[in-house]
A and B are shown apart, each in its own frame.
Chain A
Amino acid sequence: MSILVNRDTRLITIGVTGKQGTFHTLQSRDYGTNVVGGVTPGKGGMVHEGIPVYNSTYKAVQETEANVAMVFVPPKFAADSILECIDSEVPLIIAITEGIPINDMVRVKAALNDSNSRLIGPNCPGIITPGECKIGIMPGHIHMPGRVGVISRSGTLTYEAVYQLTQRDIGQSTCVGIGGDPVNGTNFIDCLELFEADADTDAVIMIGEIGGNAEADAAKWIKENMNKPVVSFIAGASAPAGKRMGHAGALISGGDDTAEAKFKILEECGVTIVRSPAELGEKMMSVL
């Protein structure tokens, strides 16, 4: 087992004919993901790299019975594409796009609350269940099937963690990038809940960042509800306050949202922390 995606996943890509959309859809298909279609308004009817293209997500879902959509649409139009996926009742939407306006995401979030869809991202690397299904931009070859779950706000730091695990022969059940934006669809707690319930996940790596309260909320949730060990790193201990560190969400604004404050509450809640991102793999070995 795994969480969210597996062998039964049927993927469509929104923005499939774009350069990035094409490249990463093909990479995902090469990995073994069942890519059943794509959407680009105005290009419906064509077959792109062997993938049938539809004008609308609704039509694509109807024709292909897709259950996951990957959004590769430029930031100006991405929120609209996500809303179209929600309207089409796609159960799982993975939004890779970086740079979506915050107020657009506020509206998307409201639409999600009352829907049958779950959103992962935006501004995220995607999700992978090693050996079964890869959806997103992560390099597939560094992963290995196994029993450790990974959740992260950062793309490349996730790869770093996964690489360290694989080097130590520790496989991963599912790796989820929840994205670096201040408003996202799925948070740490949602993923922790799924991993706690997943019979094939033994432990979890959680990678956070400065900014916001998501890690602190997750820490409290772990203390109350989680029986599996969690190893955590928070990026940005060396970041100055008041500066946006690349990610729109990575900004120390209050004082409760520094790396130090997050390490502290995680530790208090029984989470195993590492202060160096190079020690994630080693530490996971020691708790397993």
Chain B
Amino acid sequence: MNVHEYQAKQLMKEFDINVLEGAIAKTSAEAVDVAKKLGGNVWVVKAQIHAGGRGKGGGVKLAKSLDEVEKYAKEIIGMTLVTHQTGPEGKKVNQVLIESGCDIEHEYYAGIVLDRAKGRITFMASAEGGVNIEEVAEKTPEKIIKVSIDPSVGFTPFIGRKLGYGIGLEGETLKKATKFFNSLYQLYVSKDCSVAEINPLVTTKTGDVIALDAKLNFDENALFRHPDIEAMRDPTEESPSELEASKYGLSYISLDGNIGCLVNGAGLAMGTMDIIKLHGGEPANFLDVGGGATKETVEKAFSLILEDEKVKAILVNIFGGIMKCDIIAEGIIAAAKSLELKVPLIVRLEGTNVGLGKKILSESGLAITAANDLGDAAIKAVSAAKGEA
């Protein structure tokens, strides 16, 4: 789960991590009020959306007067911001963060991620801050200092020194950076982050170490123990259909094609999309009904697929393990009746209780195209979507 920069910074404050003073504004008048309260003569107006690259897209502006604060806030609030992470359709900006300016001496990078190969958390820092870190990693990997952290030991002072000296810090600044890194690690672990990235992390002419930007992602699986994080969820940043699906334990992602897919298991769901594409079709969605699906969740899955008006055919591909084929069959029938299914439906069932499932479907009197195997199912779905069947 993603949160906004201002929410990430609130959390960081709780962990004694230095951030700039600031507050959120939903209108240009509010923005001016915030700037007045902050005082000073330089402010930064920052679009709050769940995507990086906001500066390049025109979503971050430096204001040198209250008039400029008003002008930039007016420009940014309500704009559709397109960055390399939003996709071409962009994202609408609903609010801006107004922050005091600061005298930057140097921009660094600090990040904590999971090293999947080791099954450990890795802390990274670089003197190449403020730029795309993926590029640094690719072109000059030696400029990124990495420390793998043993979870049973945690963060110890040497880790801070290794990172700090590694990126060229010394003296008081090094001490402050070490404290900063330690606090960021404590935040990452105690709030179950999946990514914590500070880019840039800056040193100022007054000797401070400050997080100028902040990106925190959280492990969805761990949200049950963090109601405070769950409360930060911004539904306007999430697809309504994906959100609706998650309420029913369905994993749904909307795509651009016209063949609706209802599959059990994430791997098979991806495999089904892949094979549709190989046969010249385009999947309309990824949908994993999971292992614990009931008649009701299958019905819900159908209604989600059918809400997408692009859908010209539906392919159901179930290989029952936990999932029993008869339950899927009952869900299909209930959905077909209550939703007055008008597009062709291709069903491939295999696995636990397959005989019973097939029997229920064939006795239902519904117009269902049965498929013998995965390849057959894909071919039939692709031709049905093209109106050939």
Chain A residues engaging chain B, CB cutoff 8 angstroms: 20, 24, 75-76, 98-107, 109-111, 125, 137-139, 142, 152-160, 163-164, 180, 182-184, 207, 209-210, 212-214, 217, 233, 235-240, 242-250, 254-255, 259, 275-279
A183 to B117 Cα, complex, angstroms: 8
Asked if A277 contacts B374 (CB within 8 A), the reply is yes
Cα A212 to Cα B225 with chains together (Å): 26
Q: Which residue of A lies closest to B377 (CB)?
A: A278
A-B pairs with beta carbons under 8 Å apart, 16 shown: A76-B224, A102-B192, A103-B151, A104-B222, A106-B119, A110-B152, A154-B271, A155-B267, A155-B321, A210-B270, A214-B117, A233-B271, A235-B268, A248-B221, A277-B268, A279-B375
Cross-chain contact of A156 among B150, B152, B189, B268 (Cβ < 8 A):
B268
Q: Is B378 on the interface with A (CB-CB < 8 A)? A: yes
Contact B266 A102 (CB under 8 A): no
Task: Tell me the nearest residue of chain A to B242, going by C-beta.
Answer: A243
Cβ-defined contact, B255 with A240, below 8 A: yes
Contacts of A207 in B (CB 8 A): 267
Would you call A239 and B151 a contact (CB within 8 A)? no
Contact of A245 among B264, B269, B275 (CB under 8 A): B269
Q: With A139-B351, A154-B271 given, can you name 20 additional A-B contacts, CB distance below 8 Å?
A: A20-B322, A24-B322, A75-B221, A99-B221, A101-B222, A102-B114, A103-B222, A154-B267, A157-B267, A159-B319, A182-B116, A183-B114, A184-B119, A210-B270, A214-B116, A214-B117, A236-B270, A246-B251, A246-B270, A247-B266
Find out whether the CB atom of A276 lies under 8 angstroms from the CB atom of B321: no
Query: Which of B220, B255, B271 makes the CB contact (< 8 A) with A160?
Result: B271
A125 to B322 Cα, complex, angstroms: 9
In contact, B321 and A139 (Cβ under 8 angstroms)? yes
- CB nearest to A162 among chain B residues: B319
A156-B264, A163-B350 given; A249·B273 CB < 8 A: no
Residues A238 and B265 in contact in the complex (CB < 8 Å), given A217-B117, A278-B375, A278-B378: no
Given contacts A180-B267, A242-B85, contact A159 B286 (CB under 8 A): no
Complex contact B319–A156 (CB within 8 A): yes
Q: Is the CB of A278 within 8 A of B351?
A: no
Which 6 interchain pairs have the tightest Cβ spacing?
A154-B267, A246-B266, A156-B265, A278-B375, A101-B222, A109-B119
Q: Is there a chain A Cβ closer than 8 Å to B387's Cβ?
A: no
Interface residues of B in 224-277 (CB under 8 A from A): 224-225, 251, 253, 255, 263-271, 273-277
Nearest-neighbour CB distance to chain B for A189, whole angstroms, equals 10
How far does the alpha carbon of A102 sit from the alpha carbon of B219 in the complex, in Å?
7
- How many A-B contacts are there with CB distance less than 8 Å? 180
Is B183 interfacial (CB 8 A cutoff)?
Answer: no
The smallest beta-carbon distance between A192 and chain B, in angstroms, is: 15
Identify the interface centre among B253, B263, B274: most chain A CB within 10 Å of its CB.
Answer: B274
Most chain B Cβ neighbours within 10 Å, of A156, A183, A210: A156
Contact of B119 among A158, A183, A239 (CB under 8 A): A183
Q: Which residues of B line the A interface, CB within 8 A? A: 85, 114, 116-117, 119-121, 134, 150-152, 189, 192, 194, 219-222, 224-225, 251, 253, 255, 263-271, 273-278, 283, 286, 288, 291-292, 319-322, 350-352, 373-375, 378
Complexed CA–CA distance, A238 and B273 (Å): 6
**A254 to B132 alpha-carbon distance, docked (Å):** 12
User: Which of chain B's residues have a CB closer than 8 A to the CB of A217?
Assistant: 117
Q: Do residues B192 and A101 form an inter-chain contact, with CB atoms below 8 A?
A: yes
CB distance from B297 to the nearest CB of A (A): 14
A163–B320 Cα distance when bound, in Å, is 12
- Known A101-B192, A245-B286: A137·B291 in contact at CB below 8 Å: yes
Of B114, B251, B274, the contact of A235 (CB 8 Å cutoff) = B274
Residues in chain B near residue A247, CB distance under 8 A = 266-267
Looking at the assembled complex, report how far the CB atom of B2 sits from the nearest CB atom of chain A, in whole angstroms.
11
Q: How distant is A31 from chain B, measured CB to nearest CB, in Å?
A: 12
CB distance from A58 to the nearest CB of B (A): 21
Question: Separation in Å of the A117 CB from the closest CB of chain B?
Answer: 15
Contact status B267-A235, CB under 8 Å = yes
With CB as the reference atom, state the residue of chain B lying closest to A235: B270
CA distance A237 to B271 in the complex (A): 8
Q: Which residues of B sit under 8 angstroms from A180, Cβ to Cβ?
A: 266-267
CB distance from A13 to the nearest CB of B (A): 15
Checking B85, B192, B292, B321 against A159 with a beta-carbon cut-off of 8 angstroms, the contacting residue is: B321
Q: Are A213's CB and B192's CB within 8 A? A: no
Shortest distance in angstroms between A112's beta carbon and chain B's nearest beta carbon?
A: 9
Are A239 and B286 closer than 8 Å at their CB atoms? Answer: yes
B325 to chain A minimum Cβ distance, whole angstroms, is: 10
Given contacts A107-B151, A110-B152, A156-B265, whether A276 and B253 have CB atoms under 8 Å apart is no
> Could you say which of B116, B267, B351, B374 contacts A142, with CB atoms under 8 Å apart?
B351
Contacts of B320 in A (CB 8 A): 139
Quick one: given A101-B219, A159-B350, are A276 and B267 in contact (CB under 8 Å)?
no
Cβ-defined partner of B266 (8 Å) among A20, A105, A154: A154
Tell me whether A103 and B192 are in contact in the complex, defined as CB-CB below 8 angstroms, given that A157-B267, A163-B350 are known contacts.
Answer: yes
Q: With A and B bound together, what is the CA distance between A217 and B88 in angstroms? A: 34
Most buried by A among B150, B224, B374: B374
A213 with B116, Cβ < 8 A, contacts A103-B192, A139-B351 known: yes
Specify the chain A residue showing the minimal Cβ separation from B321: A137
Q: Which residues of chain A are within 8 angstroms of B192 by Cβ–Cβ distance?
A: 101-103
Check A275 against B274 for contact (C-beta < 8 Å): yes
Alpha-carbon gap, A210 to B265, bound state (A): 15
B268 adjacent to A157 (CB under 8 Å) = yes
Contact B375 A157 (CB under 8 A): no
Q: How many Å lie between the Cα of A137 and that of B374 in the bound state?
A: 21
Is the pair A105, B268 in contact by a Cβ cutoff of 8 Å?
no
